[in-house]
Structure 1
């Protein structure tokens, strides 16, 4: 599915003549795979990404919206994200264009933010949550490691929402991806169902031209992830922060896909599902990541 439109009214700097209504649809009615928002520092790029997340999931990450208001007193603040389905990749009944709206400081209900989903056409209403098979993740400008255990990938509400935490909290870090891969390696040795397949998906994506300068991920063991170049193996922990950060981001995407879909498989010759990923402060390696992920279709198992 695609985020096709975002409307931001009375939110931070987007008020009055600067209210924003962005349409991400091409002239021919199709949607781009990646959309880049460019602008000066302080122009509101990060706020736009945060607004997309707030519109779809509500104020889960922002309990106090007073600091987000930009509308004059007596006027409400509003975010509305429109999502459309890609019929080529999504099974089941078509829900049509669907609006996700978050409104607060409403004169009729000034104390409680209102989050609602409006069904435009189609027989069903989409919601973001466990069981919907909707991969939606976001990454803020600071993508750090964390020693926190990753758990087992259950489709709980907190697990599904965790993929959108870092855009709202600069102190939040990515879960320790290498620890998760080690965990899957141990599960494979124990013979747990699905662990070997999941580990193979992760290693295939990481080893498919994801890293620069000829480095390739070859394996994971109890000591961590290993890279190979010119026949020489090097542990990831000895590489620079850039290598470790790119790896953490990609592994976190894989983990979030697993949480969303319940299982993953590699289908090299078949286009994969359309995902929703918000990335603040895009850097050069992201282009390689998007190209590699686009070559390898990841579908639900």
Structure 2
């Protein structure tokens, strides 16, 4: 278990940006770091937590930060692979931020003010956890990238209205929720929920948000640009990982059932639908999906008119340049 008392909070650090790596492609890693080091308007640090990558080269990262004249960073190089949850937890003892932003290579902050805008939002509304608009992009060829939009969750209106009951159903029954990179979380909250899943969930570090929703924690929605998300690069997109991901999902439903007996029927059906009655949930999902496609199409069209693709191009180009220069 990770001991929360080991973390020292310093009032001059607003945010700890935790970059989780495992066998990261240099260009993607440097692109992600480029999108972070230029953040302005708030104090932050970067923590790189590597999950036992063979040949992990600390010196390349140190060289990058030196070239950027950026010194508020810590590198946590774990000796062997233990899974994403434990890798995330390995960053906790060295963190100094009041809030945590977790991100992976290939995903980027939207622009130079992303952290500032989110920080102001959560402080103004006193949220412990929030998410912002996330734009998916995908590589379509050599140095060719398409912005797909595909905002998640599909029903952002529930979050605008703060419709807690609807959000809980959409999150836990329809499993329509933000991508993990979209979140911005108070450090104490993220640590306590990560401790809850340590040793039980291996790769699904963002399962904690499902448990938070079940626990009734209000989740803020920054209705503004926040991050870029690379579609198709994480393990959740790889068929060979389906069984592992399903096991993690079943475990977080088991945890929810332990904490909320009133949800046991739903959780049992999610874990083992062949042996538990779920017609009422299936009917809800069918109706929700029928509405989701049109709803997402409308939302995407509206947001895509406001997206500035030049930010994405800048981060990707920076990553390629640094990889060539340092490598």
* TM-score > 0.5, shorter chain as reference: no
TM-score, reference length from structure 2: 0.24
TM-score, reference length from structure 1: 0.25
**Higher RCO structure (Cα 8 Å, ≥6 apart):** 2
